[in-house]
Structure 1
Amino acid sequence: MISNIVEIVSLIAAAIALYFAATQTRKLQKQVHISNLFSRYEVLNHASERYDSALALVFQRPELRPYIFEQKPLDLHDEELARALTVADLMAGAVDYAVRVGPLFPDDARSDWTVVAKEMAKQPLFQTIVNEQPHQFPDLVEYFPREDVRPPHGAIDRVRAALRDGRGARRQGQSGRRGPSEK
């Protein structure tokens, strides 16, 4: 009889322990979900800040807007081309980051950056920067057309050469000048 009572009390204790364990598991699951959402929003906020800093550069140089948003062919040279490629690099880096980490924290479709990536892939400026340096944008490059695997214009090499030649010419020009006392 006493053994039956001990067994019943043990079963009741086990049932109560299972109930509390289930309750704690549900609470932990809810906390993990909240933590994941917070992490996702933090990551996407970081990507947005990076993207916005590049947009601030566009605000300072509105002549770059058609190259970034309106599919204008890349006809810039020297410092203007370097500036446009720098802005594109910043924006592409932000979008690549958002596309990479966004799916790790599932949420609603409103915070999906794939739309931005697809629009970016239509712009010749971004095609140049991403196709010439695909290793820097491993997730973003997936949204770009496969036929654009090779750099269309070699724009980055042109910028490097122009800046190198321009600096050299300026140095030569400065060293070759004569001051008023040297004449």
Structure 2
Amino acid sequence: MLEDILTFVGTLAVVVSLLFLAVQTRAAARQAEINNSIGITSTFYQSASLVQVVHGTFLSDPSLRAYFYDGRECSPKNPQRAKVVTLAELHADALEYGLMAGQQIKGAVAWVNYPRDLLARSPVMQEVVSGQPELWPRLADLLADIRSQKAS
């Protein structure tokens, strides 16, 4: 009789432990989901902040905007070349972060369309990304896609 009671209590303890483990596992999964969302949001924020820095420079010197949105070339002899290339690198960083985070969210089409449009329009962005594709692999893939579409 005592043996049956101890077996029952032991079995009950195992069942309660398993239920508690299930609750803990569900809570840990929920926490991981929350942390992932925070990370994605942080990446989007960083991307948007860098884009704001670039656009702030356009406000200070509107002539720079044409190198990114109007297809203006920036020759090596251009006195603004260092500034334009640096802005292109900042913009590439921002867009790469946005693409990285956008891959985690279904339907984040704008985070692909904007970089695609900018790369298609801006010779300096194309030059910077194709010059160091390992720094911006997602942008390099987009650029390759743009070029293959133009070729066909």
TM range (shorter): 0.7 to 0.9
Match of 2:89 in 1: 89
Confirm whether residue 114 of structure 1 aligns to residue 106 of structure 2.
no
Structure-2 separation of matches of 1:34 and 1:8: 39
Alpha-carbon RMSD across the aligned residues, in angstroms, is: 2.5
Are the counterparts in 2 of residues 37 and 107 from structure 1 also a CA contact under 8 Å? no
Which SS does the other structure have where 1:136 is aligned?
Answer: coil
Count residues with an aligned counterpart.
Answer: 146
Structure 1 length-normalised TM: 0.68
Match of 2:136 in 1: 137
Structure-1 separation of matches of 2:111 and 2:17: 45
Q: Deviations over 1:55-103 (max 9, x none)?
A: 1111111122232123x24156522333222211210122123323553
Q: Which runs of 4+ in 1 moved over 6 A?
A: none
Which SS does the other structure have where 2:120 is aligned?
Answer: coil
Structure-2 separation of matches of 1:145 and 1:7: 67
Gaps of 5+ in 2: 148-152
Q: How far off its partner does 1:20 sit?
A: 1.0
Structure-1 separation of matches of 2:146 and 2:116: 15
Closer, same or farther: CA 52–147 of 1 in aligned 2, 3 Å: closer
Which SS does the other structure have where 1:107 is aligned?
Answer: coil
Q: Deviations over 1:130-177 (max 9, x none)?
A: 2233233233111003696xxxxxxxxxxxxxxxxxxxxxxxxxxxxx
Structure-2 separation of matches of 1:145 and 1:111: 18
- Identity across the alignment (%): 23
Gaps of 5+ in 1: 149-183
Q: How far off its partner does 1:113 sit?
A: 2.4
Closer, same or farther: CA 127–55 of 1 in aligned 2, 3 Å: same
Tell which structure's C-alpha radius of gyration is larger.
1
Structure-2 separation of matches of 1:107 and 1:147: 23
Structure-1 separation of matches of 2:145 and 2:99: 18
Structure 2 length-normalised TM: 0.80
